[in-house]
Amino acid sequence: MEWWLGYLAVGAVVGFFAGMLGIGGGAIMVPLLVWLFEAQGLPKNHILHLAVGTAMATILFTSVASVRAHAMRGAIRWDIAWKITPGILLGGLLGSGLASVIPPVWFAALFTAVIYVAATNMLLDTKPRASRQPPGLVGMSVAGVTVSAFSAFAAIGGAFMTVPFMLWCNVPLLQAIGTASAIGFPIALSGTVGFVATGLLESGLPSHSVGFVFLPALGGIVVSSMLMAPVGAAAAHRLPTLWLKRIFAGLFYVLATRMLIGFL
C-alpha cells in the first residue's frame, strides 16, 4: 500500500506542475520513480529503463486532455502536426531502442544531459527570432526524428524543442504551444511502444510490468496527475509563473544530477 501512496504523490506533483507551467512530467517523474523503485528493491540494472518507460506511458493519458483543450480553442496547426508525425514515430522507436541497449550509467548520463538542456531553456525563457516558414514533409520529418529520439531518453513530450522550432518558423506562440501538445501524443506512443517491445526481450523484470512499463506506477500516477492538473492550471493565473519556472528548472538540475550520481 505504501508504494501506491508514493505513486499517487509523484503523480500529484507532476500533474500540478504540468497544469501550472505546461511542462512534461518526465524530468521530475523519472528521478522520483528511480528512488521509489530502488526502495522497492526492483532489479537495479532495469530501474532506469522502467522509470523512463513508465513515465513515457503516462504521457499517453495526460496528453489527451491537453490536446482537447487546445483543439477546442483552435490553437493546433494540424498541418504541421501531420507532417511531423512520421518522423516523430520513427524517432521514438529509434530512441527507445537505443536506450534499451546502452549501459544504465550511460543512459543516466544521456538523460541528465537532455534534462539540463530543458532546464536551461526554461531558466532563460528564451524565444528564438522568427526567420522562416515551416519546412515541407522532408524537413518536418527530420525535425520529428530528432525531437522524438531525444525525448525518448527523458520521457518528455518534446515541447522544449518543438515550441522553439515552431516559433523560429513564424508560428504564433499560442499555436506553437497547442501544436506541441498534439505532437506530444505520437512522441509518447512511439516511445512507449519501443520501451514495451525492447523490455519484452529482457529477463528478470518485476511482475506486473509490460516490457519496461511498470503498471502499478502507471496507474497511480495517471489517476493523481489528471486530478491535479486542473489545480495547477488554476494556480497559474494567481502565481508568478516566470519565477516558478526558474525554481522548477533548479529542481530539474538537482534531481537529474542526484540520480546520475546514484548510477556512478
* Alpha-carbon gap, residue 11 to 163, rounded angstroms: 24
Q: Would you say 123 and 69 are in contact if contact means Cβ atoms under 8 Å apart?
A: no
Q: Tens-digit pLDDT profile for the chain (264 aa)?
A: 568 888 999 888 877 776 666 565 677 788 889 889 988 888 888 898 899 899 889 888 877 777 777 777 787 889 888 888 898 889 888 888 887 778 877 877 877 887 787 778 777 766 666 666 777 777 888 888 888 887 777 666 666 677 778 878 888 877 877 788 788 888 888 889 989 999 998 888 998 999 999 999 999 999 888 888 777 766 665 767 677 667 767 777 776 777 677 666
* Alpha-carbon gap, residue 172 to 178, rounded angstroms: 10
- pLDDT reported for residue 264: 62
- pLDDT reported for residue 135: 74
- pLDDT reported for residue 218: 93
- pLDDT reported for residue 152: 75
DSSP string, 20-31: HH---SHHHHHH
Q: Would you say 47 and 38 are in contact if contact means Cβ atoms under 8 Å apart?
A: yes
C-alpha pair distances (Å), 9 with each of 22, 59, 137: 19, 17, 41
Alpha-helical (H) ranges within 102-136 are 104-124
- pLDDT reported for residue 131: 64
- pLDDT reported for residue 8: 92
Longest dimension (CA), the chain: 54
- pLDDT reported for residue 196: 93
Q: What would the grid cell of residue 44 be?
A: 537495479
The DSSP secondary-structure symbol of 41 reads T
* Alpha-carbon gap, residue 5 to 187, rounded angstroms: 28
- pLDDT reported for residue 219: 92
Report pTM: 0.79
- pLDDT reported for residue 214: 95
- pLDDT reported for residue 113: 81
The DSSP secondary-structure symbol of 126 reads -
C-alpha pair distances (Å), 232 with each of 46, 218, 224: 32, 20, 12
Phi then psi for 126, rounded to 5 degrees? -80, 145
